[in-house]
Chain A
């Protein structure tokens, strides 16, 4: 079965610092997703990466995908408290017209003011 590993699992950082969350997966896939979850809330779509070398940026978050290394990164630039949440990567290895997500275990980010 496809394995998706995120690290770190917990990340406590100060505002204005930079950090990277890593997502490794075990099987070839061209679809890699990043979601955000606030406590007690649903999953909010952040990025979908669909090809090798894809890079997407939104505000202080930037995601990239290296399909050869089976690695995606979520880079946080100059963190602010509002970014505190749990971040999940998900891989969809299917090539059908529906999704079958394999989620990482999540990275709980706490940005201290």
Chain B
């Protein structure tokens, strides 16, 4: 069983479209995250939710909106996609006091 799973794995879409990426974790963790990895492999945190409550909201365009229907799921909705949104988006989860965060396999988003 995959601990942190994301769908889809690949997403190719046109500029201006709206798309969603889904993430589910079966680890029973309270906290989930979205990270963005750009074309230079640089990873940066975008959002974090703890028990469905937003706790980290980095400087991310308003076009990105996370939603956590329950603590096992954290989805990322992106409006009006732009070329610069092309990246790999990683979902992760963690549970205090375990210091580790576990990452999903990533969603490669390509905006054309």
A43 within 8 A of B: yes
B66 within 8 A of A: no
Contact residues of B between 73 and 112, Cβ < 8 Å to A: 90, 92, 94, 96-97, 99-106
Complex interface: stretch among A12-20, A63-71, A72-80, A99-107: A99-107
For A43, A48, A100, A102, which residue has the most chain B Cβ atoms within 10 angstroms?
A43
Residue on A nearest B33 in the bound complex, by CB: A99
* B40 lies within 8 A of A105 (CB): yes
* A45 lies within 8 A of B31 (CB): no
| Interface residue SS majority, chain B | strand
- What's the interface size class on A, roughly? 20 to 34
Whole-angstrom distance between the Cβ of A102 and the nearest chain B Cβ: 8
Chain B residues near A41: list those with CB within 8 A: 105-106
For A35, A48, A97, A99, which residue has the most chain B Cβ atoms within 10 angstroms?
A99
A25 within 8 A of B: no
* A105 lies within 8 A of B41 (CB): yes
Number of A-B contacts (CB under 8 A): 58
B44 within 8 A of A: yes
Whole-angstrom distance between the Cβ of A107 and the nearest chain B Cβ: 10
How distant is the Cα of A70 from the Cα of B91 in the complex, in angstroms?
A: 28
A50 within 8 A of B: yes
Known: A48-B100, A99-B31. A43 touches B41 (CB 8 A): no
26 of the cross-chain contacts (CB-CB < 8 Å) are A33-B99, A35-B103, A37-B41, A41-B105, A42-B103, A42-B104, A42-B105, A43-B103, A48-B99, A90-B43, A92-B99, A97-B96, A98-B31, A98-B48, A98-B50, A98-B96, A99-B99, A100-B45, A100-B48, A101-B35, A101-B43, A101-B101, A102-B45, A103-B42, A103-B43, A106-B42
